[in-house]
Amino acid sequence: MGKLKKGILINDIKNKINIESKRNKNILKHIGWSFFFKIGTIAISFILIPITIDYLDTDNYGVWLTLSSFISWFSFFDIGLGNGLRNKFTEAKANNNYEIAKAYVSSAYFTIGAISLFIVLVFFILNQFIDWTLVFNTKESLSGDLSVLLPIIFAFFGLQLVSKLIVTIYQADQHHSIEGKIQFFSQLLSLIVIWLLTKTNRSSLLLFGSLISAIPVVILLIFNFISFNTTYLAFKPEFKLWKREHLNDISNLGFKFFIVQIASLVLFSSDNFIIIKLFGPEDVVKYNLAFKYFSIVTMGYTILLTPFWSSFTEAYVKKDFIWIRRTVSTVQKIWLLVPILLLIMIFISKWFYNFWIGNNIEIPLNLSLSMALFVLMMTFNMIYVNFINGVGKIKLQLYTSIITMIINIPLSIFFGKYLGWGPSGVVLATCCSLIYAIILRPLQYFKIINNTAKGIWNK
* Cα 87 to Cα 90: distance, rounded to the nearest angstrom: 5
The reported pLDDT for the residue numbered 335 is 92
The reported pLDDT for the residue numbered 75 is 62
The reported pLDDT for the residue numbered 4 is 40
Neighbours of 350 (CB within 10 A): 13
What would the pLDDT profile of 197-234 be if each residue is shown by its tens digit? 888 767 777 888 888 888 888 999 998 999 888 888 88
Q: Shortest CA distance to 55 belongs to which of 204, 207, 213?
A: 204
What would the pLDDT profile of 291-323 be if each residue is shown by its tens digit? 888 988 988 888 788 778 777 887 887 788 888
Query: Which regions in the chain score pLDDT beneath 70?
Result: 1-23, 30, 70-80, 176, 201, 253-255, 265, 268-269
- Would you say 331 and 390 are in contact if contact means Cβ atoms under 8 Å apart? no
